[in-house]
Structure 1
Amino acid sequence: MDLQTYLDQAQKIVFLTGAGVSTASGIPDYRSKGGLYGGKERPEYLLSRTCLAKEPQKFYAFVQKMYYPKAQPNVIHQKMAQLAQKGRAKIITQNIDDLHRQAGTPEDCLVEFHGNLYEIFCQKCGQRHLSYQDYLASPIHIGCGGILRPDIILYEEGIPTSRLQRAIVAIQRADLLVVCGTSLVVYPFADLLEYRQSRAQVVALNREALSLPRGAQQIIGDAREQFAQVRV
């Protein structure tokens, strides 16, 4: 079956998305050749709680490279958002680029599993919703002198319980799970499929075949082309 058929037959859809969804918006993925993680130092350290605490300038220099404020949602984000607006879908994303939200996905239909780069807070005074533009200009909070950070999940940090629970509940209620733009190699995100109903259909949309649970279906191709044909 094609993607349209799977979507038409489903009552409750969950999209599980990763970096590949945003490459069409001009944001490079992380682990491919030439991706953000291709430098000499391990990203597992540069994006760790330890690095932020012990070498905040090194952390800051690296995380600045992750911002693409001019990027716009593409047709994948838009079609998923439209399905969410109609109450037919929820989105659980590994992405921290804010594009699902910008596409119009309702807050109650979106789980940003690893957080959001554009949500900035001060580690010293706790003030939140600070300007990401100010953060890109300086990591120091002019209000109290504390060190700012984006509200993303770093290595050595766990997923907040409430966020994990929201994702699990969405998975448990779905009759269709669509994996798009992720190779499902990052945990605990990749474990979310284990919470699905036995009757739920799993479909992966990717350029290459993935290792998926038994019974899952795969659509090999360009996700942007596939979603451009979707009628919502």
Structure 2
Amino acid sequence: MEFMTDKIEELKELIDQAHYVAFLTGAGVSTPSGIPDYRSKNGLYKKKDYNFPPEYMLSHDNLVKHPDIFHEFVVENMYFPDAEPNIIHKKMAEISNQKGVIVTQNVDKLHTKAGAKNVVEFHGNLYDHIHCLTCGKEFDYKYYLKDYHHHEDDGIIRPGTTVLYGENIDPNNLENAVKAIQRADLLIVAGTSFKVYPFAGLLAYRQPNAKMVAINKENLGMDSSVLAITDDAANVFAQL
């Protein structure tokens, strides 16, 4: 435990000394808020009771070809509108509002709900700009939870700005994420396996002298220059 305490103190010093902090976050940041992650042993992608593999279930192809299956999967597994920000979201909001940015893979909007002003939603989110694929009319997420049909033109309604498998990252989100990484002198990776590209490729844009911290329940196997804290992110951020 003393070894872990030393790492927490080192993290505190790095944050205090940094001019600009970039947080890169994944599903593990939202699990303390009751939102399941994707790739852990109990994650969404480990479930077997689906018509297709989870990656296909969340694909543009499935949305278009099997909108009923897509809608059922997304509503049952992705929407948690009553979830509240946890200590990780709150601490990141506090720090990034002072001197930094949050670049997140998460589509739950909890970083914004926690009060963070500088957030790049790399994969979009489930709640903004829910719209009909035929005419573009926008709907409230509460309508989408009940029905994916736009009955005026028989169009399919899709869940917000969320990037599905088979779709490209929004160019503005990509540009803003790259600029954030390039600017940061401290990068803190939290709650992500860092296996999904192009998100994982963002590290290629960091400054050569930028410090880096990885906080994850499982060791990510990064090189020795990275401060690796193998612990639940909630435990770590509760001590900052």
CA 1:229–1:63: 2 relative to 1, 3 Å = same
CA 1:209–1:39: 2 relative to 1, 3 Å = closer
Give me the whole-angstrom Cα distance separating, in 1, the residues matched to 2:93 and 2:134.
Answer: 36
Q: CA RMSD in A?
A: 1.3
Residues 215-226 of structure 1: pairs in structure 2 closer than 5 A: 215-226=225-236
Give me the whole-angstrom Cα distance separating, in 2, the residues matched to 1:142 and 1:54.
Answer: 18
Q: How many residues align?
A: 226
Which residue matches 1:189? 199
Asked whether the 8 Å contact 1:80–1:89 carries over to 2, the reply is no
Q: CA deviation at 1:222?
A: 2.1
Q: Which of 194, 202, 208 in structure 2 is aligned with 1:198?
A: 208
- What residue ranges of structure 2 are gaps of 5+ in the alignment? 1-6
Which residue matches 2:101? 90
Which residue matches 1:60? 71
TM-score, reference length from structure 1: 0.93
Which residue matches 1:148? 157
Amino acid at match of 2:87: V
Which residue matches 2:91? 79
TM-score, reference length from structure 2: 0.90
Give me the whole-angstrom Cα distance separating, in 2, the residues matched to 1:136 and 1:142.
Answer: 15
Which residue matches 1:132? 141
Give me the whole-angstrom Cα distance separating, in 2, the residues matched to 1:133 and 1:143.
Answer: 18
Which residue matches 2:124? 115
Give me the whole-angstrom Cα distance separating, in 1, the residues matched to 2:202 and 2:224.
Answer: 15
Which residue matches 1:18? 26
User: For each residue in 1:37-64, what CA deviation from the matched residue of structure 2 results, as whole angstroms up to 9, or x when unmatched?
Assistant: 2233301111111111111111111111
Amino acid at match of 1:202: M
Which residue matches 2:112? 101
Amino acid at match of 2:126: L
Which residue matches 1:44? 55
User: For each residue in 1:107-141, what CA deviation from the matched residue of structure 2 results, as whole angstroms up to 9, or x when unmatched?
Assistant: xx11111110112111111123x210100010012
- What residue ranges of structure 1 are gaps of 5+ in the alignment? none
Range moving further from structure 2, 8-17 or 206-215 = 206-215
